[in-house]
């Protein structure tokens, strides 16, 4: 019998895992797999618009609307008009929905522990490491795929952008991008190893980075070149950095912003007072001097292992 290829193994693992989870969530108060997907996305990322939820779940718009309405009627989700744009509707977990979300996580976590227990103890650490690397590779593939633009009116499709870790050689280009975006440079060069950069045809078009302070991190330098704005590049960069932070064991991500508080709300960040800013992160140059006292402070608590 021929040894299965990596592609066959990956597809079979995904198929068996999805099948097992569908069976499990059906036993959790009759939750369907679609409802589970919606509840876990909202629970993991916080309140979001219906459009954002659609992008995250890749569900058909009509199908998603019906599923959300059912969850609202069941008392698991709430709908409210957006504060910044009254034409949008924001979806959030109700208290009952938060309880169901926690039940689903516990059910799925228990299943994962059962599966891992079937692997010999000496091999489990290597399997967990391989899963983390696979997760990172899939995230990078998704980010790169999202970078392919569709043809515009009368135009041709533009080349895709790629995302990668920054290197010391990238600093001059990054400094120029940040200066153009009117973002502070202080402290950024010292943390380049925790920055992600987006390039199109070798031209730097976007950035986002972290300053790590133990299990707390400061999200900073989220910038997108003017011609590239409006195409979800900033969202992809922030999501990549948050995923990276979670993989490093970061539990809380904070930031300071003067103009983009509404943008960061979509990821689950919530405003906090400067007095609530984590003591470790107060050592950052941004907090000490680069950002004005009028900047909005925001915080997001991460799940160290983000799971479906």
Same-domain pairing of 172 and 295:
yes
Residue 200 falls within a domain, yes or no? yes
- The CATH number of whichever domain residue 87 belongs to comes to 1.10.10.10
CATH number assigned to the domain comprising residue 256: 3.40.630.30
User: What residues pair up with 199 in beta bridges, in sequence order?
Assistant: 162, 204
| Residue of 110, 85, 87, 89 whose CA lies nearest to 42 | 89
DSSP class of residue 289 equals I
Rounded-to-integer distance, Cα 263 and Cα 216, Å? 21
Residue 258 within a domain: yes
Q: What is the pLDDT along the chain (308 residues), one digit of tens a residue?
A: 567 788 888 888 888 877 777 677 665 566 777 888 888 888 877 888 888 788 777 777 777 888 899 999 999 999 887 655 556 778 888 999 888 888 887 887 888 888 888 999 888 888 888 887 787 777 667 665 554 443 333 332 234 688 888 999 999 999 999 999 999 898 899 999 999 999 988 899 999 999 999 889 999 999 999 988 888 889 889 988 998 888 888 899 999 998 889 899 988 899 999 889 999 888 888 887 767 778 889 999 886 544 33
- Domain count along the chain: 2
Q: Which residue in this structure is represented by tokens 């399997």? A: 127
With vertex at residue 207, the alpha carbon angle to CA 206 and CA 212, rounded to the nearest 5 degrees, is 170
Q: Which domain holds residue 72?
A: 6-118
Residue 130 belongs to some domain of the structure: no
Structure tokens at 272: 């906090």
Same domain, 284 and 214: yes
Q: Are residues 289 and 168 in the same domain?
A: yes
Which DSSP symbol is given to 288? I
Same domain (yes/no): 186, 281: yes
In-domain check, residue 111: yes
Q: Are residues 111 and 187 both part of a single domain?
A: no
Residue 134 lies in a domain: no
- Neighbour count for residue 146 (Cβ, 10 Å): 18
- The verdict on 87 and 184 lying in the same domain is no
pTM of the full structure: 0.51
């Amino acid at each position: 019998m021929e040894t299965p290829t990596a592609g066959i193994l990956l597809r079979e693992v995904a198929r068996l895992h999805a099948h097992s989870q569908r069976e499990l969530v059906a036993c959790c108060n009759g939750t369907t797999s679609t409802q589970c997907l919606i509840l876990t996305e909202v629970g993991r990322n916080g309140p979001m618009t219906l459009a954002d939820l659609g992008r995250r779940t890749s569900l058909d718009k009509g199908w998603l609307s019906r599923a959300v309405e059912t969850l609202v009627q069941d008392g698991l989700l709430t709908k409210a008009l957006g504060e910044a744009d009254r034409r949008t509707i924001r979806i959030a977990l109700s208290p009952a929905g938060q309880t169901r979300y926690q039940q689903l996580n516990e059910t799925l976590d228990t299943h994962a522990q059962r599966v891992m227990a079937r692997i010999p103890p000496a091999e489990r650490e290597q399997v967990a490491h391989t899963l983390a690397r696979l997760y990172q590779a899939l995230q990078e593939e998704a980010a790169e795929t999202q970078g392919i633009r569709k043809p515009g009116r009368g135009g041709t499709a533009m080349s895709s952008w790629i995302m990668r870790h920054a290197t010391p050689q990238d600093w001059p280009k990054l400094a120029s991008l940040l200066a153009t975006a009117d973002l502070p440079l202080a402290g950024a060069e010292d943390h380049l190893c925790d920055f992600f950069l987006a390039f199109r045809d070798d031209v730097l078009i976007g950035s986002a980075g972290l300053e790590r302070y133990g299990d707390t991190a400061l999200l900073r330098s989220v910038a997108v070149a003017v011609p590239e704005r409006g195409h979800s590049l900033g969202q992809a960069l922030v999501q990549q950095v948050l995923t990276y932070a979670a993989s490093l064991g970061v539990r809380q991500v904070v930031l300071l912003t003067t103009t983009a508080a509404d943008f960061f709300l979509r990821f689950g960040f919530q405003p906090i007072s400067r007095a609530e800013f984590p003591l470790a992160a107060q050592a950052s140059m941004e907090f000490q001097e680069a950002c004005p006292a009028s900047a909005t402070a925001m915080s997001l608590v991460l799940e160290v292992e983000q799971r479906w």
